[in-house]
Amino acid sequence: MSHADRLIETEHRLGAHNYKPLDVVLTRGAGVHVWDTEGRRYLDCLSAYSAVNQGHCHPGILAAMTEQAAKLTLTSRAFRNDQLALLYEDIAALTGSHKILPMNSGAEAVETAVKAVRKWGYEVKGVPENRAEIIVCADNFHGRTMGIVGFSTDPDARTGFGPFAPGFVTVPFGDLDAFRAAITENTVAFLVEPIQGEAGVILPPSGYFPAVRTLCTRHGITLILDEIQTGLGRTGKLLAEEHEGIEADVTLIGKALSGGFYPVSAVLSNSDVLGVLKPGQHGSTFGGNPLACAVARAALKALTQEGMIDNAERMGARFKAGLGALRSNLVAEVRGRGLMLAVELVPEAGGARRVCERLKDRGLLAKDTHGHTIRIAPPLVIREEEVDWAVDQFAAVLCAA
Ligand SMILES: *Cc1c(COP(=O)(O)O)cnc(C)c1O
């Protein structure tokens, strides 16, 4: 039994089986590449679900992390630390946010926003107590907490976990009429992903978000964009909202906010929504800790000062064009924006999982979703020759007779 096989066997025996990973045991990463325990190198085309946009073990983030870890890691918010204000300043300068609330995981940022908009609804909008409604989209993905899975439409995510919290209304993504029809005087927020990631990289119809923005403004509805996956350069812009020419009232970021070193998320608020939270009404032991702040500042600096966002746009276009030009009767569609891409296979392809296994054998790691979709999201530091090599691997797997 190899070392890797032993580790896999132990995981299987001792771990809960809530994931079914590809059987590749990674031990090292640098930039766009990761290495397994046998020394084989892979091109990472998942980037830990876009948490590693800056590339694995980015040296600038690593330096910030080790330096801060040797100085001060955690104070809790019972006391102040000298890093939090600096992170606030950096985020505000970059995004124009007026208020920021730091958390850890993405799901916590979503939960925080849900709590804040409900309170805002009662205290500012005047919604009767316990009547606040939040509109969400079918096929959404916002995380795994009890609150969030309660408004998921994915049977795997929710079946068997009820009862769930009320107050959520579901409409199809991209359907403006359905959104308009769902609005009531108790609607406090619309929570939506700019591009549905876990659903398989589903883009909205053009004009949808500008019209949503107009309706939200007209009806006093807080527009919450969950940019935990689409944000921080993934789509070729700092935030995906820029593609739509709109501004959210509340923006959620996470994942790449730490470049994959540490869970760091944040709620960014453009309106007075976060203003309703008073001392003692929300918090997190680790949220806003000095280590997280130092890491996040370095992660944002790497993104913005090393040309990664422009690179995502250019390499994404190249990757998409390369995949689109594949002469394969197994490919139904190639879609996406920037380096958030998906290849949709025809049912005869035998499933995306099988294709991902074959790509893995050729040194490329990508993730299947929903049976027939392969998601492609390499670190934003990927170079032309690496994109071309990746396209060649797809060609070898999908174009073989
Ligand atoms: C990953 C993700 C989340 C949840 O983030 P966690 O850190 O896993 O809790 C929420 N929303 C979107 C759009 C995501 O992609």
Query: For the domain that residue 149 is a member of, what is the CATH number?
Result: 3.40.640.10
Q: Both 49 and 101 in a single domain?
A: no
Mean pLDDT of 357-378: 96
Q: Best of 141, 151, 284 to mutate for ligand 1, by most ligand atoms within 8 A of CB?
A: 141
**Is the peptide bond between 163 and the residue preceding it cis, with omega within 30 degrees of 0?**
yes
CA 255 to ligand 1: nearest atom: 7
* 240, 271, 305 - which closes a domain: 305
Q: What is the residue range of 65's domain?
A: 59-305
Q: Both 90 and 168 in a single domain?
A: yes
Q: Both 320 and 257 in a single domain?
A: no
Which H helix or E strand runs over 342?
Answer: strand 340-345
User: What pLDDT was estimated at residue 401?
Assistant: 53
Query: For 382, what's the count of Cα atoms within 13 Å in the CB-facing half-sphere?
Result: 37
Please give the distance, rounded to the nearest whole angstrom, from the Cα atom of residue 142 to the centre of ligand 1: 5
Percent of the chain topping pLDDT 70: 100
Q: Both 324 and 250 in a single domain?
A: no
CA distance 216 to 154: 26
Query: Helix %, strand %, coil % for the chain, to 5?
Result: 40, 20, 40
CATH number at residue 353: 3.90.1150.10
Which of 141, 261, 286, 394 is catalytic? The answer is 141
Q: Has 139 been annotated as catalytic? A: no
CA 230 to ligand 1: nearest atom: 13
User: What pLDDT was estimated at residue 270?
Assistant: 80
Mean pLDDT of 194-214: 97
Task: Count Cβ atoms below 10 Å from residue 77 Cβ, excluding itself.
Answer: 16
* 258, 282, 305 - which closes a domain: 305
In the numeric block, the tokens 């929710």 are attached to 158
Q: Both 140 and 274 in a single domain?
A: yes
CA angle 1, 6, 354 (to 5 degrees): 90
User: What pLDDT was estimated at residue 1?
Assistant: 86
CA 265 to ligand 1: nearest atom: 7
Q: Has 5 been annotated as catalytic? A: no
Express each pLDDT in 35-85 by its tens digit. 999 999 999 999 999 999 999 999 999 999 999 999 999 999 999 999 999
Express each pLDDT in 227-262 by its tens digit. 999 999 999 999 999 999 999 999 999 999 999 999
Q: Best of 47, 50, 139, 142 to mutate for ligand 1, by most ligand atoms within 8 A of CB?
A: 142
Q: Both 141 and 69 in a single domain?
A: yes
In this structure, what are the phi and psi dihedrals at residue 238, rounded to the nearest 5 degrees?
A: -55, -50
Q: Has 255 been annotated as catalytic? A: yes
Q: Best of 50, 192, 229 to mutate for ligand 1, by most ligand atoms within 8 A of CB?
A: 229
Q: Both 145 and 71 in a single domain?
A: yes
When divided into structural domains, the chain yields a total of 2
Q: Which residues contact residue 286 at a Cβ distance below 8 angstroms, ignoring those fewer than 6 apart?
A: 74, 104, 292
What does R_g of the chain's alpha carbons equal in angstroms?
A: 21
CA distance 202 to 163: 29
Q: Is 400's pLDDT higher than 80?
A: no
In the numeric block, the tokens 């073990």 are attached to 57
Mean pLDDT of the chain, nearest integer: 97
* 282, 305, 328 - which closes a domain: 305
Express each pLDDT in 122-138 by its tens digit. 999 999 999 999 999 99
Q: Both 98 and 242 in a single domain?
A: yes
Please give the distance, rounded to the nearest whole angstrom, from the Cα atom of residue 330 to the centre of ligand 1: 30
Q: Both 81 and 211 in a single domain?
A: yes
Q: Both 256 and 366 in a single domain?
A: no
